[in-house]
Structure formats: structure tokens, C-alpha cells
Amino acid sequence: MFKKLFFLLVLTSTTFLMNAQTVEEILNNYFENTGGKATWEKLESQRMEATVFVQGMELSGTMTFAKPNKNRQDISVQGMQIVQAYDGETAWGINPFQSGPEPQKLPAEMAEDMEGQDFPNIYLSYKDNGHTLELEGTEEIEGTECYKIKATRKNGKVEYHFFDTEYFIPVMVRTTVSSGPAAGQASEFFMSDYDEVDGLMVPFSLENKMNGQSVMKLTVSKYETNPEIDHSIFAFPGEEEAVEEEEAVEVESVEEVPAPVEKVEKKVEKKKKDKTKKSKKDKQ
């Protein structure tokens, strides 16, 4: 009797939560509680400095992001830099401990994973960007009741985003690893310790877990909103220089063609010479 009553109460409360909120209402509350949608829309770039805890090591790192979906991570390990970057088309990296100091293009699967990772988040104009969001009820995440939203990105990749039912802030994103030794396994990315930076509420603690075990944890020490960024840092080294050289060749080829003023000057000089020759001939 009591078990049946408890089940009905749980079912009723869950149904109420689902009926009380839609995806749009959840997102509207999220934006309102984290600084306002207009403030998020003004965010063009972001830089984070953080301490990274991975495999028992404490490292320093910098993460740089820019619209629409460019990103770069630089991690310092034993005096050397590990880099992973994406310029919107090409994913590349530098890992001196595996492939040496030269930059290498990463597998197509990794580029696909990075494709569509809209900055600053998927929630802004998600329909216009080709994504779909669906509310799939609630789920408890480490003791916190959350709305569970299924996000299908334009490239077909599926993620699950969990929003706190009280404050409407993201607490975790669950994805499936698509490449590497962990392919097929669930990867959970937790966000906590929210605080205000330039009018936006952002997480200062970020942690990646697999099978309940912490794989990597970041403690952010500094956020920069809309810093000036040289976008060439996202491009695969060499491609940017090739574009600049091509543009330089085009400029040089244009300069070889006489400008209109130069043509007029040459015509005037020719007329003067012809007039001088005619004058000398008439005197003779």
C-alpha cells in the first residue's frame, strides 16, 4: 500500500515537472539566471586560465574560444606544450610525447566531434544552427534533480544536457566517445562552482568522468571575456602562411599593371615627344 502510494507520488511529481516546463522555458530561465540572453549574444571570444589535474599530475593550461566554433587548448607539461586546436574545419594538435614537436592533423572523427560545437554554447539560436533539443524528463545527477534534454547536433551527434531543476543551470553533459581506445563509452562533463564574471555566471570547476572515475579536472583561475585574439592561432601551422603568400602574389601581379594615372602620364610624354619631332622637322 505505502509502496504503491510512494510510486504514485514520484510519478505525479515527475509528470508535474515535465508538464510545468518546456525546453524553451528551461532555456529562458537558464539565460535569465546566468546574465541574460543579450549578454551571452555579445560574447565573441573567451580565454580561460586553469590548473589541470590529470593522471596524478598538476598542470597549467589555457583554453581559448572564438565564434562560431573555433577553439584551442594549450597544456604545459614538463616544460613542453601540448596543443589541440580547431579552426572550424581542421582539427590538429601537437604532442611532443607521442608524435614529436611537429603539428599533426587529427583524425576526421575528432574534427567531426568538434564540428558544430557552437561558442559560447549550443543553446543560443540552436534552431537556426540546425540543432534540435528535446525534453526527456528528469534524472538525478549526483544527488541533484535535473531536467534531461536530448541535444541532436546538425552533424547527427547526440548529447544529453542536464539542468538543475531549481536554478536552471547546466550541471553535466553526457556524450559518447566516438574514437580512440574509449570509443563507445559514455563521457560525462560536470560543471560546478558557478560565479559571476563580467555579468555572466560561469563554472569555475570542470570535470570529465568516465565510468564514475575522474579522468580530468580543471579549476579555472581566470576568465577573460571578449579578449582580442589573433584567429591565426586556431589554424593549422603552414596553411595560414600559404594564404598570406598567395595574397602577396596577387598584390604583386596587380602592381605590375600600370595604373590609370601612369597610362595618362605616358600618353602625355609621347605627345610631347611627337610634337618636338614635328617641330624640328618643320624647321628643316
pLDDT tens string 69-119 = 899 999 999 889 999 999 988 999 999 988 888 999 988 777 777 766 789
Q: Does residue 255 have a pLDDT over 60?
A: no
Confidence at residue 38, expressed as pLDDT on a 0 to 100 scale: 96
14-20 average pLDDT score: 44
Q: Does residue 247 have a pLDDT over 90?
A: no
267-271 average pLDDT score: 48
The DSSP call for residue 100 is E
Residue 36 confidence class, pLDDT cut points 50, 70, 90: very high
Do the Cβ atoms of 46 and 224 come closer than 8 Å? yes
The per-residue DSSP string of 180-240 comes to STTTT-EEEEEEEEEEEETTEEEEEEEEEEETTEEEEEEEEEEEEES----GGGGSPTTHH
The secondary element (H helix, E strand) that includes residue 253 is helix 239-256
Do the Cβ atoms of 114 and 100 come closer than 8 Å? no
Q: Does residue 242 have a pLDDT over 70?
A: no
Confidence at residue 116, expressed as pLDDT on a 0 to 100 scale: 61
pTM, entire model? 0.75
Q: What percentage of the chain reaches a pLDDT higher than 70?
A: 76
Total residue count of the chain as it appears in this document: 284
Residue 214 confidence class, pLDDT cut points 50, 70, 90: very high
Q: Does residue 46 have a pLDDT over 60?
A: yes
First to last CA, the chain: 133
Q: CA–CA distance from 101 to each of 63, 65, 97, 237, 238 (Å)?
A: 20, 23, 8, 12, 14
Q: Does residue 281 have a pLDDT over 80?
A: no
Q: CA–CA distance from 136 to each of 6, 125, 133, 190, 191 (Å)?
A: 22, 20, 10, 19, 20
Higher pLDDT, 177 or 175: 175
Q: Does residue 243 have a pLDDT over 60?
A: no
Higher pLDDT, 154 or 145: 145
229-248 average pLDDT score: 71
- Between 117-131, 148-162, 240-254, the lowest mean confidence (pLDDT) is in 240-254
Question: Which value, to the nearest 10 degrees, does the dihedral of the CA atoms of residues 36, 41, 45, 46 take?
Answer: 20
Confidence at residue 61, expressed as pLDDT on a 0 to 100 scale: 96
Q: Does residue 264 have a pLDDT over 90?
A: no
127: closest CA among 152, 106, 103, 144? 152
Task: Give the CA radius of gyration of the chain.
Answer: 29
Confidence at residue 181, expressed as pLDDT on a 0 to 100 scale: 79
SS3 166: coil
Adjacent-strand bridge partners of 266: none
Q: Does residue 8 have a pLDDT over 70?
A: no
Query: Around 202, how many Cα atoms within 13 Å sit in the side-chain half-sphere?
Result: 21
CA–CA separation, 82 and 189 (whole Å): 21
Query: Around 101, how many Cα atoms within 13 Å sit in the side-chain half-sphere?
Result: 2
Confidence at residue 134, expressed as pLDDT on a 0 to 100 scale: 97
Confidence at residue 269, expressed as pLDDT on a 0 to 100 scale: 54
pLDDT, the chain, mean: 82
CA–CA separation, 163 and 147 (whole Å): 5
Indicate left, alpha or beta for 228 from its phi (over 0: left) and psi (-120 to 50: alpha). Answer: beta
Q: Does residue 262 have a pLDDT over 50?
A: no
- CA angle 257/259/264 to nearest 5° reads 125
Higher pLDDT, 242 or 109: 109
